[in-house]
Every structure is written in structure tokens, then in C-alpha cells.
A and B are shown apart, each in its own frame.
Chain A
């Protein structure tokens, strides 16, 4: 059988939550399994607070699993250097965060860090960032523009996998549609494996791909 690109086996994760100033351990993910093939597109839905963001953060190791194992190309992610792992597994957050400086500097961050030689202008173009925005201060952009900068910035790392945490949640319908098209387009172009978290069923239907639902700490096949 073909080796999965990403595989989660028996993964559990709990968090400490403060309730009345007492820390209570709450189980978020329990014995979760997931197999994602190279180049596959997966959408993950689930109620607010069901642990979708938590799940993505485990895969690029911004958080640590309690038990189980996560494999990238058949190798435990704990055996990767965390920095290099995160270069391979890019992430776009629910709320876009831009760094101080111009749009160009934001996008160039990963290129400088990893000494990638890519065409910044072409990348900005792919991410539908107009040329005249490139030298603007990133802090003053609209949220939709910031999100495009974050997408371009993630892609400048030349990742194999893209984790998308509701990348359109802070956008209106039209802007969301544009970003959707953009991401799907980029995915084919760069042959990316994509895990796309969304809370909208319509969006999941538009995106296509394998649909999963996070419920009671596990992933279930989505029903239409």
C-alpha cells in the first residue's frame, strides 16, 4: 500500500482550561486517526470548540500531542527538526497576522529564512496581490488583503502541505469566494496536500475533496 503523506494514529490531546480559577483538564481529541495521501484535499468541519484548530496545530507541532503518533512521509514528526517540519507544513491561521513592514517584506520572510530562490512578484500575482500593494505597509491592509499576504507568505516557504484554519472566516461572501478559488488554483499548481478547516457546509461542498467531521474528539466521514 502506498505510503500516506500525513498519518495520525491514535492521537489524543487534552488542554488545561481555567474554570473558576481552577485548572481543569479537558479532553479535546481522543484516539483520532487520519490518513492523508500525497496531493489530497481534505475538508474538516465541526462545531465551534470541537478542536479543529487544535488538530491542525498538532500537525505542524505548534502544540504537542499527549499520546499517539503523527507521521510525515512515514517518519514521526518528533524526529524532524521542528523548524524544518514547519517549513514543510505551512499554515494559514484563522485570523491573519502580518508582521511589521511592507507586504513585500512579509512575503519575503520565508524566502530569506530558508534561502529559497523564488519569484516574489509571480507569487504575489498568484495570491492575487496587486503590484501597487507590494510596497504598502502590511499593517494597514484590509483583512482580506492581509489573508492573501499570509497565504503568499506561507507559500514562499515552498511547503508540501498546507494547513488552512478557516482562512475565509473573517471575510464576506464575495471575498471568501475569491480566496477559495485562489487556494484551489494554487493547490493544483503547486501539487500541495491540503487540510482545510471550515465551519460552513456550503464551502466544504464548493471546495470538494474528502469531507471529514470532527465530533467527540474523532474524525468521521462526512455525510452529505
Chain B
């Protein structure tokens, strides 16, 4: 029964961090964010308790809601690009689900809310981060390379061909943090899932194996989600007559 001291410690740290943060003018923000995160995570715990007693499809519904919220975050990053709210939510949901299913098919986890929700949410959260970075960079590339994109168009290239280099650059730069993380896995940091399992008393080899499976899935989900999003967003940068839009700010 360690929840009471853990929550007490959290509150204490948030209060102290907020007090300290006043020097940087972020005291107020820190206390709000801290309180908010505490409440959110407690609500999540309660939701999971409820889900434990509900049929499994409820867990998937919750994951869909998470994907929708993630999609909204990515959408804001895209500069509120036309159509990109449903596109972002759908890309993140599809990529995460695709990488979630094998864990249960392979029997790594039992198909229960206790496993579906946390694994799904890790995938969704990372797919969101990668997609946000990718769409932001994609848009920036297109804006900066306007001349090049129009040179392609002027030769009769389709929009997809004209911005292929921008798309590639967008995905590449969004994946760099993940690639670096993977390179340093176990050297600089012990990732969350393994930490959690170790703290929970699991065997280190089991913890490491599951961690690397999750890690690889996270990477793949991020790559697929961002690729889907960028690919299907391309049309939003152009008019019906294959003209690069002028209002990309």
C-alpha cells in the first residue's frame, strides 16, 4: 500500500517545483500542469478499474478516444490544415492498432484491459509525437521550398511528385529522436515499461524482451502514422488545379 506516500511525495514535489519555478516565471504554470497531471492520472486509474469490469470492447473505445485527442494535438501542430483533424486521428489510430494486435496474437500479453490500455496508449502517444513533428516539418519544407515545388509543377509533375522530397524530409526529421533513443537504449536510459516491470518484481530478461518489442512497435507505429498522415495531407497543400496554395502561413 504505497499509494498514499507516493501521492504525498508528488504533491510535495509539485509545490516545491512550482515555488522554485517562480524564478523563471513558470511557477503558476507548473502548479497548474502538475495538479492537472495528478488529477488526470488518478482519473485514468479509476477508468481502468471500471474498465476491468467491463467487456473488452470498452477498452478499445477508450483507446479510440485517446487517438482522437492525440489527433487533435497533431492537428494543432499542422497549422490547422484542412482535413487534417480526421486524418491525424485516423492515421494514429490505424498505425497504433496495427502494432498493438501482434502483442495479443503472439500471446505476449493476455487480451485483457490491464494490458490493452497501457500498451495501446504508449503506441498512440508516440505516434502522436512523431506525427506532430512530421507534419510541422512537412509544412515548413513546403513553404521554404516553394520555388522548387513550383519548378516541378511547371514541368507537369503531379503534386505528389512535386513534394516528394519535402515529405521524405518531414518523416526523416520526425524519426530522428526515435532513432537516437533506440541507439542509446539501455546505455543512457532504462525505458518506462522495463522500469515499471522491474519495479513490479519481474524477471529482468522478461522485462527487457517485452521492452524491446514495445520499443520496436513504437518506432514502427510512429513511422506508419506519420507516413499516412503526410501522404494523405498532400492534397490539402494544393488547389484542385494542382496549384500550390498561397495561404500556407
CB within 8 Å for A113 and B147 given contacts A16-B246, A83-B242: no
CB-nearest residue of chain B to A92: B154
Instruction: Please tell me if B151 contacts chain A, counting CB pairs below 8 Å.
Output: yes
Max count, chain A CB within 10 A of own CB: residue among B156, B161, B241, B247: B156
Q: Which of A95-103, A126-134, A183-191, A198-206 contacts B (4 or more CB under 8 A)?
A: A95-103
Instruction: Please tell me if B243 contacts chain A, counting CB pairs below 8 Å.
Output: yes
Instruction: Please tell me if B239 contacts chain A, counting CB pairs below 8 Å.
Output: yes
What CA separation (Å) do A26 and B138 show in the bound complex? 30
Q: Which of A1-9, A40-48, A58-66 contacts B (4 or more CB under 8 A)?
A: A58-66
Contact indicator B241/A82 (Cβ below 8 Å): yes
Cβ of A113: which chain B residues have Cβ within 8 Å of it?
Answer: 155-157, 161
Chain B 145-161 residues near chain A, CB threshold 8 A: 147-148, 150-158, 161
CB-nearest residue of chain A to B241: A82
Q: Mark B211-238, 1 if CB is under 8 A from A, else 0.
A: 0000000000000000000000000000
Q: Mark B115-141, 1 if CB is under 8 A from A, else 0.
A: 000000000000000000000000000
Count the A-B residue pairs with Cβ separation under 8 angstroms: how many? 61
What CA separation (Å) do A60 and B157 show in the bound complex? 13
Contact indicator B148/A97 (Cβ below 8 Å): yes
Contact indicator B165/A83 (Cβ below 8 Å): no
Q: Mark A172-194, 1 if CB is under 8 A from B, else 0.
A: 00000000000000000000000
Contact indicator B243/A63 (Cβ below 8 Å): yes
Contact indicator B243/A62 (Cβ below 8 Å): yes
Chain B min CB distance to A99 (Å): 7
Chain A min CB distance to B228 (Å): 25
Contact indicator B241/A114 (Cβ below 8 Å): no
What CA separation (Å) do A93 and B242 show in the bound complex? 18
CB-nearest residue of chain A to B145: A97
CB within 8 Å for A83 and B151 given contacts A16-B246, A64-B239, A78-B241: no
What CA separation (Å) do A15 and B246 show in the bound complex? 9
CB within 8 Å for A61 and B156 given contacts A97-B148, A97-B151: no
Contact indicator B241/A61 (Cβ below 8 Å): yes
Chain A min CB distance to B168 (Å): 11
Contact indicator A83/B157 (Cβ below 8 Å): yes
Chain A min CB distance to B244 (Å): 8
CB-nearest residue of chain A to B151: A97
Contact indicator B151/A84 (Cβ below 8 Å): no
- CB-contact partner of A99 in B152, B154, B239, B241, under 8 A: B152
- CB-contact partner of A154 in B155, B158, B161, B247, under 8 A: B155
Cβ of B244: which chain A residues have Cβ within 8 Å of it?
Answer: 62
CB within 8 Å for A110 and B148 given contacts A16-B246, A82-B241: no
What CA separation (Å) do A63 and B241 show in the bound complex? 9
- CB-contact partner of A60 in B154, B158, B247, under 8 A: B154
Cβ of A150: which chain B residues have Cβ within 8 Å of it?
Answer: 151
Contact indicator B156/A64 (Cβ below 8 Å): no
Chain A 61-84 residues near chain B, CB threshold 8 A: 61-64, 78, 82-84
Contact indicator A93/B153 (Cβ below 8 Å): no
Cβ of B154: which chain A residues have Cβ within 8 Å of it?
Answer: 60, 62, 86, 90-91, 93, 154
Cβ of B151: which chain A residues have Cβ within 8 Å of it?
Answer: 93, 97, 99, 150
Cβ of B156: which chain A residues have Cβ within 8 Å of it?
Answer: 83-84, 86-87, 110, 113-114, 157
**Sample of 17 more A-B contacts, CB < 8 Å, known A64-B239, A86-B155:** A16-B247, A62-B150, A62-B154, A78-B241, A82-B241, A83-B157, A86-B153, A86-B156, A90-B155, A93-B147, A93-B151, A93-B154, A97-B148, A113-B156, A113-B157, A153-B155, A154-B155
Pairs across A and B, CB under 8 Å, 15 listed: A64-B239, A82-B242, A83-B156, A87-B156, A91-B154, A93-B147, A93-B150, A97-B147, A97-B148, A97-B151, A99-B148, A110-B155, A113-B156, A154-B154, A157-B156
